Amino acid sequence: MSSQTLLVDFPAVVKSKVLEKLDLFSILKLRKVCYNLRQFIDENPPKFNRCAVEVTTTPGECISINMKSPEIVSLVFRPDGNGCKMEWKVSYKVRKVVVEMGNYIDVFLRELEGIMKYHWRPVLKSFSIQQFEWGVRREVSEELTRIGCVHTDEVVFDGCSLDQIAAFLPFFNSDDLNKIRIKDLFKQEKEDQEDDIRMLNLQKIKQSEQWKNSKHVKIEAWDFYVKIRDFLNFEQVEIKCEMMSVQDIILIKESFLTSSRLDDFSIGLENYHDREQLYASFGFPSLPVDPETQEEEWFFRIPNIEDVLSVSTWHYFDTWHRFDRNYFSFSRVKVEDVPVDAVIRD
């Protein structure tokens, strides 16, 4: 009876062909079979470009590597006494649990390093910091200090305060960072403004190289008054806030007409009552108002180029949650995409 030939005994070219046919989950399992296979895989890592890698951390509780692939959804690392509990999740169900000795952050770093060896680009798609656990304000400085410099295309701050964001941003490599997203901005109690609407003070944040170099920003700050000048260095901006002056809305329009960087700027406002001032600056809409959506739209020529600035605004009332919001959208469009009956203003 002939003995079976093991994968580890195949020629290198054959093993490489086999690895190319495997999914990421199978590769990670195969690394744990024996030392020789692990060494071969690490020295000849197959590359995956269909699997975006994201990291989410809930400080003091867990860190997860999310791969959003059919084979594996995430690897979750939790502190477990003096060790680390590692959960392999597929379709959001725990498929395997492994307990290893050592700090859970160190175990996470080891596994992340292994995964990124097989990624076509050594940069995460997203790194998310979640700070919203039942109002408890946890610090993530230990996690970020141990991780060191984070190479990611996007960073998401969920439930963080402005002071925390200012402290966390320097940990992210500014050459790789393209997108900054701030969700559910935490209102700090130490702010000394007496009214409920507070000015969003980005002074510490906007001095960072990460803020200056990023191209996209998305911020949810429903309890804050926002100043547009803090966002004019980006290409794409999405802001949801309590209030903004009509002068700032006019400033966005003027910035589009003079800046080659701005490409798309959208705003959602809880309170807006200055429509007459807007008409005084923009003129009346370039097209008849849509009777169903009540959307108003203007078109302005951009000097020295063929693109046209499109400005639209519409109103939305949520009958279920009882909130009333106004939305503005600024974007560059090709002149041939402007409706033929629209007035284009200089």
Give the pLDDT of residue 190.
45
Tokens of 265: 């700027």
Backbone region of residue 100 per phi and psi (left: phi > 0; alpha: psi in -120 to 50; beta: other values): beta
Residue 58 located in a structural domain: no
The three-state secondary structure class of 277 is helix
Give the pLDDT of residue 320.
64
User: Is residue 27 over pLDDT 80?
Assistant: no
Q: How far apart are CA 103 and CA 153, in angstroms?
A: 27
φ, ψ for residue 313, nearest 5 deg: -140, 145
User: Is residue 191 over pLDDT 70?
Assistant: no
What is the 8-class DSSP label of residue 270?
Answer: E
CA nearest neighbour of 299 among 286, 289, 290 = 286
What's the domain range around 313?
244-346
Q: How far apart are CA 229 and CA 263, in angstroms?
A: 15
Mean pLDDT of 78-83: 86
Positive or negative, the Cα torsion across 254, 257, 262, 265?
positive
What is the 8-class DSSP label of residue 152?
Answer: B
- At 327, which CATH number? 3.30.160
Mean pLDDT of 185-202: 64
Residue 248 located in a structural domain: yes
Residue 311 located in a structural domain: yes
Tokens of 280: 């005084």
Per the structure, how many domains does the chain have?
1
Q: Which range scores top for mean pLDDT: 141-145, 185-189, 305-309?
A: 305-309
Instruction: State the greatest distance between any 2 C-alpha atoms of the chain, in Å, as a whole number.
Output: 93
Query: Which residue has better confidence, 137 or 67?
Result: 67
Tokens of 153: 């295309």
Q: pLDDT for 103-116, tens place per residue?
A: 888 888 888 877 77
Q: pLDDT for 214-271, tens place per residue?
A: 999 999 988 888 889 999 999 999 999 888 888 999 999 999 999 888 999 999 988 7
Residue 19 located in a structural domain: no
Mean pLDDT of 191-200: 60
Residue 273 located in a structural domain: yes
Q: Provide the pairing of β-strand 154-158 with 126-130.
A: parallel
DSSP codes of every residue in 281-335: HH-S-SSPPPTTT--EEEEEEPTTSSEEEEEEEEEEEETTTTEEEEEEEEEEEEG
Rg (CA), the chain: 25
Give the pLDDT of residue 19.
76
Mean pLDDT of 155-171: 89
Residue 312 located in a structural domain: yes
Mean pLDDT of 52-79: 79
Q: How far apart are CA 312 and CA 98, in angstroms?
A: 54
Average the pLDDT over each of 187-196, 217-226, 317-326 and give the range with the smallest value: 187-196
Query: Which residue has better confidence, 128 or 111?
Result: 128
Q: What percent of the chain has pLDDT over 70?
A: 83
Residue 156 located in a structural domain: no
Q: How far apart are CA 219 and CA 186, in angstroms?
A: 12
- The length of the chain, given as a count of residues: 346
Residue 106 located in a structural domain: no
